[in-house]
Amino acid sequence: MKRTGLLIILSSPSGAGKSTLARRLMDWDPALRFSVSATTRPPRSGEVDGRHYHFIAPDDFHRLVSGGQMLEHAEVFGNFYGSPRGPVEVAMREGRDTLFDVDWQGGQQIRASALGGHVVSIFVLPPSLPELERRLRTRGQDSDEVIAGRMQKSRNEISHWAEYDYVLVNDDLDETEARLRSILTAERLRRDRQAGLGTFVKRLMEEESA
């Protein structure tokens, strides 16, 4: 029996392990597609159109937004970013799930969209704020000032935890991945997401006993 594809929103504060979990989830299920964002900023060295981002002109971006073809969008440092609706709808019809790496604001917009009924939202928490700060420092990429800003932003992100369907504490990466797989497996098997189930049961009831 076929089913309609899901929109899987995965959010977390920076350093909580969201990107690693997303990669592991896609390795587990190669049919899972990642939502490639559209942006009005020019491509950077090494970026490939359609793989890293869909690079489009500002006028085209705003036309998509006004036409309801962006599931979520935001302005960041003068450039616009958004999640195109068209590829997600194609994947849904094919029974393929789409994974979104967005913050709580993007998640709110997707849930409020016309496709909101197909959303499964998951928030990943760190085991503690000191551990989150340790992970950020271990990267060795940011100054103390930048890390302090990230920690403040993390507190804001965490304050929206109750808006999500599921909340996972990432204290062990392997266990968190296993729980993430369980969530996805269960959501795929929900009765209302299995197209043709009613027809199957009706035919089953009409069968004669052996």
Query: Which tens digits make up the pLDDT trace of 47-90?
Result: 999 999 999 999 999 999 999 999 999 998 899 999 999 999 99
pLDDT of res. 135 = 87
What is the pTM assigned to this prediction? 0.87
CB 137 within 8 A of CB 112: no
Please tell me the least confidently modeled range out of 20-24, 106-110, 131-135, 159-163.
131-135
Neighbours of 88 (CB within 10 A): 23
pLDDT of 90 reads 96
In the sheet with 79-84, reading across from the earlier edge strand, the strands are 54-55, 38-39, 79-84, 70-76
pLDDT for residue 210 is more than 70: no
Which whole number is the average pLDDT over 93-97? Answer: 94
Give the Cα separation of 79 and 43 in Å (integer).
12
| Average pLDDT taken over every residue of the chain | 93
What is the torsional sign of CA 191, 196, 200, 202? Answer: positive
